[in-house]
């Protein structure tokens, strides 16, 4: 320890559980057991306790949002635009009325059942 360090308790480099008293010029024979405060693990600091990782192959899109959009605006394909299925959304917008609403209804049931896929081909199954 250098001569410029102030007096106080400093950890023993050979045993981290002990501290020695530094009087400003040298270590004395006074020792004490060091209180080691446990620190949080890096994983606990990054992820909250309630965090559950999303399974592989599951979309980040909300099935609830897609279901509500399909119910209120399914006849014009808004729920498919939300899911990233732009081509299917355009097809529903232009041709859905030709089926007298049966195609949008069946597509809405597919979303409710959790069998719809997003634009990346991932299954939209989470309600959040």
pLDDT classification of 13: cutoffs 50, 70, 90: confident
Ordered strands of the 18-22 beta sheet: 8-11, 18-22, 27-33
What pLDDT digit, counting tens, does each position of 81-102 carry? 999 999 999 999 999 999 999 9
What is the DSSP-derived secondary structure letter of residue 26?
S
Is pLDDT above 80 for 12? no
Average of pLDDT values for 14-34?
Answer: 76
Q: pLDDT tens, 105-119?
A: 999 999 999 999 999
pLDDT of 2 over the 60 cut: no
∠ CA 118-119-124, rounded to 5°: 10
pLDDT of residue 24: 77
Question: pLDDT tens-digit profile of 59-76?
Answer: 999 999 999 999 999 999
Q: Which residues of 63-79 are buried (b: 16+ CB within 10 A; e: fewer)?
A: bebbbbbbeeebbbbbb
Instruction: Write phi, then psi, for 70 (nearest 5 degrees).
Output: -65, -35
| pLDDT computed for residue 52 by the predictor | 65
Phi and psi, residue 5, nearest 5°? -70, 140
3-state secondary structure of 9: strand
d(CA 121, CA 69): 19
Query: Tell me, what's the pLDDT at 31?
Result: 75
């Amino acid at each position: 320890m250098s001569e410029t360090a102030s007096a106080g308790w400093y950890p023993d480099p050979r045993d981290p559980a002990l501290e020695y008293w530094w009087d400003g010029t040298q270590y004395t024979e006074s020792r004490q057991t060091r209180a080691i405060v446990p620190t949080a693990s890096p994983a606990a600091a990054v992820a909250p306790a309630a965090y559950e990782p999303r399974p592989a192959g599951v979309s980040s899109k909300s099935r609830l949002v897609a279901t509500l959009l399909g119910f209120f605006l399914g006849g014009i394909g808004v729920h498919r635009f939300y899911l990233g299925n732009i081509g299917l959304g355009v097809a529903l917008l232009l041709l859905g009325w030709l089926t007298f609403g049966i195609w949008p209804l069946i597509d809405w049931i597919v979303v409710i059942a959790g069998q719809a896929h997003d634009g990346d081909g991932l299954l939209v199954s989470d309600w959040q």
